[in-house]
Amino acid sequence: MKEKELPQSRNRRRFIKGITCALGTAALGAPLLSYGESLAGTRKPQNKKLGIALVGLGNYSTNQLAPALQETEKCYLAGVVTGSPPKAEEWKKKYSIPGRNIYSYDTYDQIKDNPDIDIIYVVLPNAMHAEYTIRAAEAGKHVICEKPMATSEEDCARMIEACKRNNRKLSVGYRLHFEPHNQRVMELGQQQVFGKVKKIDGAHSFVVSNDPDRWRLNKKLSGGGPLMDVGIYCVQAACYTTGETPVAVTAKFGEVTRPVYFDEVEQSVSWQLEFPGGAVANGSSSYNENKNFLYGEAEEGWWRLQPAYSYSGIEGRTSKGPMNYPQVNQQARQMDAFAECVLENRESRVPGEMGMRDVRILMAIYEAARTGKRVLI
């Protein structure tokens, strides 16, 4: 039996367009402009694609973002920032990037003089997000910052302030807000399709490779272990299922069975979030097992995504039947949506304020696990 649908498809489109996980869209104080007019005061043709520069050419940029930018409709790969000359040359040839649009970290600030680049996507280790987002804003560029937004709430606040001060837009790389199965979960929970949400369970874990020197295991660069890396997806999922921000958390660290790898960051952590509407969300994340699911239980039904957070192959089912939604390029949708926000001068559904909220929750989880106490958020 096919899953129950909402009465009108346009209600679904309106709902998806307006989702901000109970944060609203915080205005940056900029005057309203007509479609296609840039914040600098010059008009861009409505059919012009905005140029994106990727900062950091690691695995995610190489295997996900750059390929996605070959499918986008409102933006394109205009430039790169890398500390590796061989990578710069490789990308220049592969994607026909003009030499003037290739920067090193030393020449990064010169990007302000490049009209080809409208948006900077920061894809660096977590501890570097704040610096390069702030410098991008000061260079007059709009910013997408990969998750987690930063390693402290204070850095998130500085990033938001810099973008506001420079009248630039800021978004966080929460691709699942543009994925149909997860969007349906937002509807099921927030619109109480099966009644009031009672319980959420989620886990996201993978086994790290045999390289103890990778930056994710370096606390100075990562800010933490699997919670910061992939556990944040479970926190996000609990928030966008309920449409609420949690009010308290309890948590505990798991046993360390591979101390040579986990002498700085946690090997695993589990937690329970309490929401103001009465729902509870149990989450867990580990660098030593493979899990990937999201389950929700309401008064009159349930739903499950498994896998829930992958780049592709997401599958879902509810108590009424399977979720029949297409597989999409999540990153292409995410970047096109932000480019559209810039062109239309409106805020992202995944703004910096959401990223700061999530970092606040992550820090509360760490505090609860460290102290063994229930922590208010």
What are the structure tokens assigned to 190, written together? Answer: 């927030």
Q: Who's near 76: CB < 8 A, 6+ residues apart? A: 49, 50, 51, 52, 69
What are the structure tokens assigned to 116, written together? Answer: 């080809």
> What are the distances in angstroms from CA 267 to CA 54, 164, 179?
30, 37, 29
Q: Specify the residue for token string 């979030």.
A: 273
Amino acid at 45: P
Q: Are 265 and 278 in contact (CB under 8 A)?
A: no
Pick the catalytic residue from 121, 174, 233, 240.
233
How many CB atoms are closer than 10 A to CB 24? 12
- The answer to whether residue 291 is catalytic is no
- The answer to whether residue 147 is catalytic is yes
Using alpha carbons, select from 289, 366, 343, 282 the residue that is nearest to residue 42: 343
Q: Specify the residue for token string 């509810």.
A: 318
Residue 76: beta bridge partners? Answer: 51
Pick the catalytic residue from 74, 141, 147, 164.
147
Using alpha carbons, select from 24, 25, 6 the residue that is nearest to residue 347: 25
Asked if residue 307 has a cis previous peptide bond (ω within 30° of 0), the answer is: yes
Give me the active site residues, please.
Answer: 147, 233
